[in-house]
Amino acid sequence: MLRKSENRKYIIIIAVLLVVIGGLLGYFLRESLLRPAAETPEALNPPKEEKVLSNVRNTPIVQAVRAVGPAVVGITTRVYDWDLLNRRVLVGESVGSGVIFDADGYIVTNQHVVGDSNEVNVMLADGRTLPGKVVGRDAATDLAVVKIAADNLTVAELGDSSSLVVGEPAIAIGNPLGLELRGSVTVGVISALNRTINSAEQRFPLLQTDAAINPGNSGGALVSSEGKVIGINTVKINSPGVEGLGFAIPINSARPILAELIKHGEVRRAYLGVWAIDKQMAQRYGYEWKEPNGVLVLRIDENGPLARTNIAPEDVIVAVNGQAVETLTDLRNVLDGFRPGDKVTVEYRSRGESYTEEVTLNEAHT
């Protein structure tokens, strides 16, 4: 039997042990809670971003997006209107896409994205927003060039749209529905080449793709599986029951336009001075068509180049500089290959006979 003094001693010892044990438990618990994430078990850490993918995951599409994605930007344009007192008022903003194609800060986009604005805001893929200046625009081709002042820009490599074949992959990168969805990627194929969707106004054939293109994608990149820009997304058919009909300006057609916009701020086009229709349009509007090909002359500009020749209304132009002309698009494409002041030969048929005239092209004024 223990004495009271011995009982008191054991109670004190037990109390001290409990205090020590409690202190140690509190210390380890506090250290566990405050320990940096790097020191916690690996299984509890969030996975780190993988910079190197396996061969299975690192597909050509992934590589193409990594190459071009950082060069795709968002372009915001302020939209103004006039109130009842004829005052200019801000009514909203439009958002589109663009592609950096030159290290000096040149960006290609659609003319309908920038509208009549001379200044826009450009959001880069890294989140920076910079002021941009519209250095040139061309309504006829729906192309425009914007310039920003920035260093270390990612520049997209331009490809060769003439080498495309139907069925090969096509990747659209842009900002559908606004900057909240910037950098969105959709994938499809090249559905068709040389498409005409508006023969009266379209300057050159377009690429057709089923990669999803939505409002805000305009001006963005259509990319090959090699990671090169092959087109500039411009329009989609947006009708009930229609899906997967998007169109892009072939990059080969865009190149000379971009060069002209950077150099002159506009496109200086050769002018023949003729109003004409092709066979399809003639049949639609009831004109009598006797020739197998060519474009039918309706009217000649009295101040234009053709006014100094023997070509007259009801004649049919069949070739320019040896290049056959069967449609209005053909005629535009041929003339776009020349500059004001160039001399060309125009082959035409008049009352069943063939003739040739030499013509010095003027500059078109719009």
Which residues participate in catalysis according to the annotation?
Answer: 112, 142, 218
What 8-state DSSP symbol labels residue 338? S
CB 251 within 8 A of CB 237: no
CB 173 within 8 A of CB 220: yes
Q: Provide the pairing of β-strand 129-138 with 119-123.
A: antiparallel
The encoded tokens of residue 287 equal 């004109």
146-167 burial by CB neighbour count: b if 16+ within 10 A, else e? bbbeeeebbbbebbebeebeee
Determine phi and psi for 320, rounding to 5 degrees. Answer: -130, 120
Residue 219, CB half-sphere, CA atoms under 13 Å: how many? Answer: 35
User: Cα(48)–Cα(304) distance, rounded to whole angstroms?
Assistant: 67
CB 103 within 8 A of CB 153: yes
Mapping DSSP onto H, E and C, the string for 201-241 reads CCCCCEEEECCCCCCCCCCCEEECCCCCEEEEEEEECCCCC
Residues 6+ apart with CB under 8 A from 112: 96, 142, 218
User: Cα(29)–Cα(22) distance, rounded to whole angstroms?
Assistant: 10
Cα 211 to Cα 21, 129, 204, 208, distances in angstroms? 66, 28, 21, 9
Determine phi and psi for 362, rounding to 5 degrees. Answer: -90, 180
